[in-house]
Structure 1
Amino acid sequence: MKNIRNFCIIAHIDHGKSTLADRLLHFTGTISDRELQEQTLDDMDLERERGITIKSHAIQMDYTVNGEKYVLNLIDTPGHVDFSYEVSRSIAACEGALLIVDATQGIQAQTISNLYLALEQDLEIIPILNKMDLDSAMAEEVTDQIVELIGCNPEDVIPASGKTGMGVEEILQAVIDRIPAPKGDPEAPLQAMIFDSVFNSFRGIIAYFRIKHGTIRKGDEVKFVNTGKKYHADEIGTLKLTMTPKKVLSAGDVGYIISGIKQAKEVKVGDTITLVSRPCQDVVKGFEDVKPMVFAGIYPVDTDEFEELRGSLEKLQLNDASLVYEPESSMALGFGFRCGFLGMLHMEIVQERLEREFDMTVITTVPNVGYRAMTTKGELLVVNNPSDLPDPSTLASVEEPFIKAQIITKSDFVGQVMTLCINKRGVLTNQVYLTADRVELSFEIPLGEIVFDFYDKLKTISKGYASFDYHPIGYKESKLVKLDIMLNGDQVDALSALIHRDNAYELGKRICLKLRELIPRQQFEIAIQAGIGTKIIARETVRALRKDVTAKCYGGDISRKRKLLEKQKKGKKRMRQVGNVEVPQEAFLAVLQLD
């Protein structure tokens, strides 16, 4: 056990985690030249196309130094704030972390937040200065930033390059010297923590775990503590580039277990595995439950595919534990699910994965956040969907979630960033100059305001230099109203939104204008209205297509024309009562791109 090292790689987006992981794998001979490709560990098409890591990937390397053989378990983690839950799970399975900082960009917001996650779990941090082969690398400046952040010596920072392979040997040496071996008792009762799981259509559900104490053998009868289910370990093994079956795994090892589990509900990430014959007394203190930030409805385009969508979401949740969903129904869209995501990118990725991996075409409604409503009777309701908000007459107050946003940017853009945050109802709480030209701004800002386009706008005004990180700080009371959109007097619940009273009129007007462009003209007139409660605040009309019924009347008395027009009017009126307005899919998403 003393020769095992478990470590993960943490960094901000695009600081070169996956490229450096490739070098480590290549250097230790875990993968041959033939198998090596860019970002070897990113095995999803989506990850390769976008150049981002979405899932954590675990892999085992063997490395011999001075005649002694070491087993290194590496977990490559995502950098984006929307996938921070993946990072927290990977950290729970490790004893050390490589903190990678891009020598051309310096320390950024996710660098700091991922570092804090690692420090909370008491991990040993090895700082690495990556991309040293570039001409624009600012080695001394960035080293000073790292020293200031972690409080290490400048000599502890390892200069490296994922592209050229510089510094890889020093990194492996540092992993062996500085990261402690896992602590645990191989003789104690088995106690292992599940940190990930995948669905395989031939073998059922495969769970990845890290053993804290005890030993597991092939064929043992095991029990998943939280769900209380019992299984036989049909196959256990370690995670190389492919799965490598083993007879025995003991404390400190990271591996997988296949036990023919069919139901997605039976595996919970963070659960503890133990033996039925010698159960452990307490469960592993893993990571906390996920708190979704953004809620949106996902509906099948064809209403018959509701059950298929349920199955797809179950399988997807196995592989993406931060996805939360529950069934709901909508007047406009039929049956579907209300899903909770960690952010807009997460939502986009889930939608893409449903289409690619499960062949489901879905409609996504306008994303919103979860609110709390207090009724006049003193009841507290959780409102995830605007249509659940009680009637204004019984509503005492509404609270919305606030976050603390940390934005690190160049000092040239401080003015624009402040303006953006203040327009989004943010309050500046702190401003710290990290170096002469880098500022950290802290804001308290309503989560609902940053859900749509905040991140894109921030990148635009700062020419891509601002980095953004946030965490929830609780609920505060706000003057929120429910904006309803009505077509010919019928409410379209998929388009309603909860917004601040001051912005309601403006937004209502803009949505109506946008819908007028998108809704195709019918044989009858369509009234598009935005209202708060019973008060209409904006209206647009889609004009009817009309047939020229008076074409055959040339000359003659005006009353003949009038008679024909009246007759047409009656027909239109009847048509309007019978006909219904079809809202195209673009209209649901158009509300997002209003600016």
Structure 2
Amino acid sequence: MSKKSLSHIRNFSIIAHIDHGKSTLADRLLEVTGTIDKRVMKEQMMDTMEIERERGITIKANATRLHFTAADGKVYQMNFIDTPGHVDFAYEVSRSLTACEGALLVVDAAQGVEAQTLANVYTAIENDLEILPVLNKIDLPSAEPEKVKAQIEDLIGIPADDALPCSAKTGMGVAAILQAIVDKVPPPQGDPDAPAKGLLVDAWYDNYLGVVVLVRLLDGKLMRGSKVKLMNADRTYVIDRVGILHPQEAQRFRAVDVIHAGEVGVFTAAMKEVADAQVGDTIADFTAANQGLITPLPGFKSVPPMVFCGLYPTEGDDYEKLKDALAKLRLNDTSFTYINEHSPALGHGFRCGFLGLLHMDIIQTRLEREYNLDLV
């Protein structure tokens, strides 16, 4: 893979306040680029959890690869990382933004800039991302595009003259957004010929695949048989499959031969322990890491829990089941903490820490639904 081929890659995210139309815009991007067959298209395609669809919010960061033919006739590979919008999930946003070079700042043209928009966009600015303002819901009678452009300039301090008008609901302006990503978001920097080095963006447990690791590869390449070291965890693995995330596939996993420098992909490596894949760790070529040729990337900021509560199984026999479920959920969510706790009245359980009340409610709901636990 030549260095020239990095110029056809764009890694981007979407920043938006809750209910400003981020998931709907994500659906239109999938549709316009032909990533999803129209016959199987449904709302909130990137939101994979039942609870996300039910509440109309994004909780887990997610990623998929789009291909777009730009005005210059070339096909560009776009790695789109979908992020949550609620304040409780700011850690997911910062984690995802680290893997991008650009971000769409989606603002509701009727409601204007809101508090969470500011928090997330400042995270993007800290990461030196190219920010493209997008005015969504431009077709609403209450839309005030000029007023909102002035708000973006006054409150955020970025130029909004060429903010992109769109209606994520109807698809108006979506092709222009994709063209703007090609024109304005810089391609990733990286050396395809150097030893493999990447950032562990996210990881989760899949019942069929085991621990799946989402990686933004900075240098080199990863393929089946690659021997890699997780530098902070000081653990070594041999990769057994590599792929990309695709919302239409079973387990969202589409196998590929190689993940190249600059790309976002996933791999599995027979990790049995969910605690092995620490988000923010550096994935490095085993030989180069052992020779001291690769320095670990700076880790993610850890966010302390703000809300605490005790969780106890109604049935004492379910303690081990609850312990296992918490360990699996924690793999996807390093900001949620738990320690053993014993109560004379309730028996053995866990004291858990969360980022906020919504975060706590979602973890509790997932434990009850996905792991069939009855909790006190």
Q: Contact 2:68/2:76 (CA < 8 Å) preserved in 1?
A: yes
- AA at the equivalent of 1:334: G
Give the drift of 1:240.
2.3
- AA at the equivalent of 1:253: E
Q: Work out whether 1:174 is the aligned partner of 2:180.
A: yes
Deviations along 1:59-86, whole A, 9 cap, x unmatched? Answer: 1101112321100011111111111111
User: Where does residue 434 of structure 1 map in the other structure?
Assistant: none
User: Where does residue 279 of structure 2 map in the other structure?
Assistant: 269
Alignment match of 2:27 (pick from 22, 26, 40): 22
Matches within 5 A, 1:348-427: 348-363=361-376
Distance 1:245 1:107, change over 3 A: same
Deviations along 1:268-304, whole A, 9 cap, x unmatched? Answer: 1111111212225211223212211111111111112
- AA at the equivalent of 1:305: D
User: Where does residue 37 of structure 1 map in the other structure?
Assistant: 42
Matches within 5 A, 1:411-490: none
- AA at the equivalent of 1:276: F
Give the drift of 1:106.
0.5
Alignment match of 1:345 (pick from 358, 369, 372): 358
Q: Work out whether 1:47 is the aligned partner of 2:52.
A: yes
Alignment match of 1:257 (pick from 267, 279, 283): 267
Give the drift of 1:221.
1.2
SS class of match (1:5): strand
Give the drift of 1:153.
3.9
Matches within 5 A, 1:509-528: none
- AA at the equivalent of 1:254: V
SS class of match (1:155): coil
- AA at the equivalent of 2:209: R
Q: Contact 1:193/1:286 (CA < 8 Å) preserved in 2?
A: no
Give the drift of 1:203.
2.0
Q: Contact 1:293/1:343 (CA < 8 Å) preserved in 2?
A: yes
Identity of aligned residues (%): 51
Q: Work out whether 1:89 is the aligned partner of 2:102.
A: no
Rounded Cα–Cα distance in structure 2 between residues aligned with 1:318 and 1:187: 32
Which structure is higher in RCO with an 8 Å CA cutoff and minimum separation 6? 2
User: Where does residue 67 of structure 2 map in the other structure?
Assistant: 62
* Structure 2, gaps ≥5 residues long: 1-5
Deviations along 1:511-562, whole A, 9 cap, x unmatched? Answer: xxxxxxxxxxxxxxxxxxxxxxxxxxxxxxxxxxxxxxxxxxxxxxxxxxxx
- AA at the equivalent of 2:257: K
Rounded Cα–Cα distance in structure 2 between residues aligned with 1:237 and 1:292: 33
Rounded Cα–Cα distance in structure 1 between residues aligned with 2:56 and 2:160: 31
- AA at the equivalent of 2:23: S
Q: Work out whether 1:294 is the aligned partner of 2:300.
A: no
Q: Contact 1:192/1:209 (CA < 8 Å) preserved in 2?
A: yes
Q: Work out whether 1:223 is the aligned partner of 2:224.
A: no
SS class of match (1:163): coil
Q: Work out whether 1:284 is the aligned partner of 2:300.
A: no
Deviations along 1:404-451, whole A, 9 cap, x unmatched? Answer: xxxxxxxxxxxxxxxxxxxxxxxxxxxxxxxxxxxxxxxxxxxxxxxx
Rounded Cα–Cα distance in structure 1 between residues aligned with 2:245 and 2:203: 13
Q: Contact 1:191/1:284 (CA < 8 Å) preserved in 2?
A: no
User: Where does residue 80 of structure 2 map in the other structure?
Assistant: 74
SS class of match (1:156): coil
Give the drift of 1:155.
3.0
Give the drift of 1:223.
1.3
Rounded Cα–Cα distance in structure 2 between residues aligned with 1:269 and 1:261: 14
Q: Contact 1:4/1:72 (CA < 8 Å) preserved in 2?
A: yes
Rounded Cα–Cα distance in structure 2 between residues aligned with 1:47 and 1:222: 34
User: Where does residue 144 of structure 1 map in the other structure?
Assistant: 150
Rounded Cα–Cα distance in structure 2 between residues aligned with 1:108 and 1:328: 39
Deviations along 1:479-515, whole A, 9 cap, x unmatched? Answer: xxxxxxxxxxxxxxxxxxxxxxxxxxxxxxxxxxxxx
- AA at the equivalent of 1:56: A
SS class of match (1:61): strand
Q: CA RMSD in A?
A: 1.2
SS class of match (1:311): helix
Rounded Cα–Cα distance in structure 1 between residues aligned with 2:296 and 2:38: 42
Q: Contact 1:297/1:339 (CA < 8 Å) preserved in 2?
A: yes
Alignment match of 2:9 (pick from 1, 4, 12): 4
- Which protein has the larger Cα radius of gyration, Structure 1 or Structure 2? 1
Q: Contact 2:152/2:159 (CA < 8 Å) preserved in 1?
A: no
- AA at the equivalent of 2:149: T
Alignment match of 1:98 (pick from 104, 125, 136): 104
Q: Contact 1:130/1:160 (CA < 8 Å) preserved in 2?
A: yes
- AA at the equivalent of 1:72: M
- AA at the equivalent of 1:358: Y
User: Where does residue 416 of structure 1 map in the other structure?
Assistant: none
- AA at the equivalent of 1:39: Q
SS class of match (2:131): strand
User: Where does residue 119 of structure 1 map in the other structure?
Assistant: 125
Task: State the TM-score, normalizing by the size of structure 2.
Answer: 0.94
* Structure 1, gaps ≥5 residues long: 364-595
- AA at the equivalent of 1:247: D
- AA at the equivalent of 1:157: A
User: Where does residue 3 of structure 2 map in the other structure?
Assistant: none
Q: Contact 2:66/2:80 (CA < 8 Å) preserved in 1?
A: yes
Deviations along 1:198-228, whole A, 9 cap, x unmatched? Answer: 2112221011110112222221111111221
User: Where does residue 197 of structure 1 map in the other structure?
Assistant: 203
Give the drift of 1:87.
0.6
Rounded Cα–Cα distance in structure 2 between residues aligned with 1:246 and 1:29: 19
Q: Contact 1:61/1:240 (CA < 8 Å) preserved in 2?
A: no
Q: Contact 1:82/1:342 (CA < 8 Å) preserved in 2?
A: yes
Matches within 5 A, 1:231-250: 231-241=237-247, 242=249, 243-250=253-260
Rounded Cα–Cα distance in structure 2 between residues aligned with 1:14 and 1:144: 21
Rounded Cα–Cα distance in structure 1 between residues aligned with 2:270 and 2:47: 26
